[in-house]
């Protein structure tokens, strides 16, 4: 994510934030993020069992969150492991975003 210097966001920056907030705007995805934040890296097989949803639906949620750079994906053999992209999430929740949404005059 780029550093905002002028306070006015470009169309590209706005689209990036839109993608990220859409990825977070769902109860299941928030549950998924919370689970990975607490437990650390987890395999898709364990996530499916823990969240009680079919693998196909879980894959949809995981793709949205990896596309938004909220989650990291590591494929080992036939299994995929997911973890929170802490650096990106920290940036998304940073004071910088607060200043973008509520700039001082």
Q: What is the pLDDT of residues 48-62, one digit of tens each?
A: 999 999 999 999 999
Contact (CB, 8 A) for 74 and 42: no
The predicted model scores a pTM of 0.79
- Which architecture characterizes domain 16-99 according to CATH? Orthogonal Bundle (1.10)
The model's pLDDT over 72-91, given as tens digits with 9 standing for 90+, comes to: 999 999 999 999 999 888 87
Distance, CA of 65 to CA of 60 (rounded, Å): 9
């Amino acid at each position: 994510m780029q550093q905002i210097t002028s306070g006015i966001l470009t169309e590209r920056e706005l689209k990036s934030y839109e993608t990220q907030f859409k990825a977070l705007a769902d109860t299941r995805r928030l549950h998924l993020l919370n689970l990975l934040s607490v437990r650390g890296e987890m395999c898709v097989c364990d996530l499916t069992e823990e969240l009680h949803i079919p693998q196909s639906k879980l894959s949809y949620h995981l793709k949205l969150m990896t596309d938004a750079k909220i989650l990291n994906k590591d494929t080992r053999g036939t299994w995929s492991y997911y973890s929170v992209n802490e650096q990106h999430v920290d940036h998304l929740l940073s004071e910088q975003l607060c200043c973008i949404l509520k700039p001082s005059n």
